[in-house]
Amino acid sequence: MVARQAYVYPRNDRHVDGETLRIYCDMNIYNRCFDDQSQLRIRLETAAIEGIFELAEGGASELVWSFMLDYENSLNPQEESKEWAELLSGLCIHRIAPAPRILALAGALIKSAKIKPRDALHVACAETVRCDYFVTCDDDLVRTVRTRRRASKLRVIATNPVEFIRRQGGSRG
């Protein structure tokens, strides 16, 4: 397992080796395997999420963990899923602490893009540390970030886990 790197501001280089993707997953990604697997969409997303974690374990991507993920995980009443998320956080080699830059960007996203505060903080974290992808199972959030991406000057690409694996998994795994 790779040691975590603690920092707040983006690095100058976009990727470590020119090919490694930096990915920020919101909390629903870490908890998806505990959702009702009798639903086809949830099973597909769960399988795709496993693929994302495999890419990270294999070094094809770098996962990012944030203070917001810590906070949301602390609110989880389900001990098993809380412990699972904590375990998976060990795959994340980058850890983001709160910073004025993140809070300012989140505030702007709340106002201009009408993104909910917690979601805005997740997107701001991903953008601030120059993630390539922001992965979530929240279709409305993906749609909003995509629609407002240019106006908000966001570089991060919002996507769902199945679409991410479709685009990236085959060429990297």
Task: Say which residue the tokens 């570089």 belong to.
Answer: 155
Q: How many CB atoms lie within 10 A of CB 104?
A: 12
pLDDT score for 36: 94
Extents of the domains making up the chain: 16-168
The 10s digit of each residue's pLDDT in 26-64 is 999 999 999 999 999 999 999 999 999 999 999 999 999
- pLDDT band at 6; cut points 50, 70, 90: very low
pLDDT score for 67: 98
The 10s digit of each residue's pLDDT in 75-97 is 999 999 999 999 999 999 999 99
Residue 2: phi, psi to the nearest 5? -85, 140
Does residue 10 contact residue 128 with C-beta atoms inside 8 Å?
A: yes
pLDDT score for 52: 96
- What element of type H or E holds 5? strand 5-6
| Burial class, 41, CB count within 10 angstroms (exposed 0-12 / middle 13-18 / buried 19+) | exposed
pLDDT score for 151: 80
pLDDT score for 2: 40
Q: Place domain 16-168 in its CATH homologous superfamily.
A: 5'-nuclease (3.40.50.1010)
Largest CA distance in the chain: 44
The 10s digit of each residue's pLDDT in 95-108 is 999 999 999 999 99
pLDDT score for 99: 97
Distance from chain centroid for Cα 48: 14
pLDDT score for 8: 37
- What element of type H or E holds 96? strand 92-96
Mean pLDDT of the chain: 88
The predicted model scores a pTM of 0.87
CA angle 165, 168, 172 (to 5 degrees): 115
Residues with Cβ within 8 Å of 165's Cβ and at least 6 positions away in sequence, in order, are: 48, 51, 52
Residue 142 has pLDDT above 60, yes or no: yes
